[in-house]
Amino acid sequence: MELININGIDYLIKREGCTAKNPYATVHKNIIFIRIPINLQREEGFRIFCELKKRMIAKIKKSPARFKEKKNIEFHDSDRINLWGKNFIVSVKQGNGRGSYAHCKDEGEYKKICISLANSLNEEDKKRHVSNLTRRVISKILLPSIMQYTGKINKEHFQVDVKKVFIKDHCSKWGSCSEKGNINLNFLLLFAPKEIFDYVVIHELAHMKVKNHSKEFWSIVQKVMPDYKEKIRWLKENGNILSQISAKISIKN
Q: What is the pLDDT of residues 25-83, one digit of tens each?
A: 888 778 999 999 999 999 999 999 999 999 999 988 987 767 766 667 889 999 999 99
What is the DSSP-derived secondary structure letter of residue 23? -
CB 177, CB 183: distance < 8 Å: yes
- What's the distance, CA 140 to chain centroid? 15
Rounded-to-integer distance, Cα 127 and Cα 125, Å: 5
What is the DSSP-derived secondary structure letter of residue 120? T
pLDDT on residue 34:
94
Rounded-to-integer distance, Cα 240 and Cα 196, Å: 14
204-226 pLDDT tens trace: 999 999 988 899 999 999 999 99
pLDDT on residue 171:
64
- Structural domains in the chain plus CATH codes: 2-67 (no CATH), 80-244 (3.30.2010.10)
What pTM does this model have? 0.75
- The one-letter amino acid code at 88 reads F
Spatial neighbors of 169 by CB under 8 A, at least 6 apart, are 72, 132, 135, 136, 139, 187
131-166 pLDDT tens trace: 999 999 999 999 999 999 999 999 999 999 999 999
3-state secondary structure of 244: helix
Comparing CA positions, the residue from 9, 11, 10, 40 lying closest to residue 24 is: 40
User: What is the β-pairing status of strands 80-83 and 110-117?
Assistant: unpaired
166-201 pLDDT tens trace: 998 766 689 999 889 999 999 999 999 999 999 999
